[in-house]
Amino acid sequence: MATVAVTDETFEADVLQSEKPVLVDFWATWCGPCKQIAPALDQISDELAGSLTVAKVDIEDSPMTPTKLGVRGVPTLMLFKGGEIVAMKAGPMHKTKIVEWLAEQGVS
């Protein structure tokens, strides 16, 4: 399953009301590190499709959600379970570190 594009309008339905945990990548088209981690997130989306949804929010196209959630820089990854933020990481990360971080949160 590929990553899901989420907007301000679809955030509640796609993320907050999701039955599965959702890893949200807040990113921007001009962000080099965002482009670096995108392939890793696509791979994680495929590998953990049964237990996790990976969503992407472009902070320029949908500025309300990141502002409301206090996103200060990109890339920022937030893990949601049951409509709540359970973990957050900012800055670029290698795929291995993202997978380890998700496992620490009970997602594997």
Domains of the chain: 4-104 (3.40.30.10)
User: What does the pLDDT look like over 87-103, one tens digit per residue?
Assistant: 999 999 999 999 999 99
Where do we find the tokens 């969503």? 55
* Chain centre distance of CA 85: 11
87 exposed, middle or buried (CB, 10 Å; 0-12, 13-18, 19+)?
middle
Whether the predicted pLDDT of 36 surpasses 90: yes
Residue 6 annotated in active site? no
Tally the C-alpha atoms within 13 A of residue 68's C-alpha that lie toward its C-beta: 9
Choose the catalytic residue: 31, 44, 57, 77.
31
Residue 51: strand pairing partners = none
100-105 long-range contacts (CB < 8 A, ≥24 apart) are 102/23, 102/44, 102/48, 102/52, 105/21, 105/79, 105/81
Choose the catalytic residue: 6, 24, 34, 54.
34
Whether the predicted pLDDT of 1 surpasses 70: no
Residue 31 annotated in active site? yes
**Residue 2: predicted pLDDT:** 81
- Tell me if the pTM is above 0.95: yes
Distance of alpha carbon 55 from alpha carbon 4, whole angstroms: 5
